[in-house]
Amino acid sequence: MIVLYDRSLWTNEAGCFVRTSLKGQPGNLKIGVLIETRPSAYSRDLRKAVKVAATDRGVGVVFFPTGWVSTSGADSAEAVDGSLAELEGCDGILLFSAVFSDAIRGISRLVQHWLPRPIVSIGYRLPGVDSLLVDNLAGAQMATEHLVAAHGRQKILFIRGRRDSQEAEKRYLGYRHGLRTYRILHDDRLVLDGDFTAETATRILRELSKEVEYDAIICANDDMALAALEFVRKKGLRVPEDVSLIGFDDVPEARRAIVPLATLAQPFEKLAAESVALLMDRAAGVPREGLKTVPVDLILRRSCGCT
């Protein structure tokens, strides 16, 4: 059962939707954040950043572990409606949408019933929703070009994320663009279908034909890159002497790895600060741009060959 909201609480003279009882009192705002029941390293880091950003601005934040946003794809209407009922005490919603792109039907239902109240999506562009994205394409292209230009790598293996993920597909396109920059022919055998999990990365590397040669690996996230690091070392190959390796996200485990992992750093603090500020402005009826893309940084560590 969906608990309906009082639309009159959200309308001001300018036609903006504002929680009038909270206008001018940002300290009373409360944000609900939907996360997976078993958060990934990416979600854990983003969650920490959101807690800090909300505390700094005097905004309350409540995290809702939500089963239907997991990779199971179980996004039934009843489950989504249950989440809507739980969120009714919140003044805005923050979606870690990059982690549940496979549950897009559920997200669409949630958005449909929540709007016009404030809602911000991080990582996935949702129609009609304020969205904060990272420049995944430019980041993956930068990593690919670095391996070629700085380390002379020509046979770069790429482990993709899920094909239903906007972020994963942009990272794959960035890899392709990087190869094209140096006129390196694309080889389908050097592209493996991952799903952002370490288990799948290990499995597909084991299944890779011994005839496929590679001198570098780029992974669509750090979880898969750390699994690739372990796999390569167990094969008796040296990182970075034999195989260079770059991940994506810059989770804490990356810098603590036995060979510190070069990676593309997600701007967690900036994403968190921007999302909280955007939700506060929307609740106060302040006009804001509804789509923003922020850059990522290439963090050079020993796994790529840099010291």
| Mean pLDDT in residue range 73-89 | 80
Q: What pLDDT sits at residue 40?
A: 80
**In this model, does residue 16 exceed pLDDT 60?**
no
CATH 1.10.1740.10 describes domain 7-134+267-296:
no
**In this model, does residue 73 exceed pLDDT 50?**
no
Higher pLDDT, 304 or 41: 304
Q: What pLDDT sits at residue 102?
A: 65
Between 3.40.50.2300, 3.50.80.10, 3.40.50.12780, 2.60.120.200, what CATH number should domain 136-266+298-304 receive? 3.40.50.2300
What share of the chain has pLDDT > 90, as a percent?
A: 63
Q: What pLDDT sits at residue 181?
A: 98
**In this model, does residue 1 exceed pLDDT 50?**
no
Query: Which stretch of 32-41, 122-131, 272-281 has the lowest confidence by average pLDDT?
Result: 32-41
Higher pLDDT, 218 or 4: 218
**In this model, does residue 93 exceed pLDDT 80?**
yes
What is the tens place of the pLDDT at every residue in 127-146? 889 999 999 999 999 999 99
Confidence of residue 75 (pLDDT cuts 50, 70, 90): low
**In this model, does residue 7 exceed pLDDT 60?**
no
Question: What residues are paired with 121 via a beta bridge?
Answer: 95, 131
Query: Which stretch of 20-24, 101-105, 113-117, 282-286 has the lowest confidence by average pLDDT?
Result: 20-24
Q: What pLDDT sits at residue 3?
A: 29
Q: What pLDDT sits at residue 134?
A: 93
255 to 39, 107, 231, 284: CA distances (angstroms): 20, 34, 18, 40
Tokens found for residue 135: 């420049």
What's the CA gap between 209 and 157, in Å, rounded? Answer: 13
Residues 6+ apart with CB under 8 A from 190: 155, 156, 157, 158, 212, 214
Higher pLDDT, 42 or 242: 242
What is the tens place of the pLDDT at every residue in 253-263? 999 999 999 99
What is the tens place of the pLDDT at every residue in 153-199? 999 999 999 888 889 999 999 999 999 999 999 999 999 999 999 99
**In this model, does residue 68 exceed pLDDT 50?**
yes
Q: What pLDDT sits at residue 103?
A: 75
What is the tens place of the pLDDT at every residue in 206-224? 999 999 999 999 999 999 9
In the chain, CATH 3.40.50.2300 covers 7-134+267-296, 136-266+298-304
Q: What pLDDT sits at residue 239?
A: 98
Residue-averaged pLDDT of the chain: 86
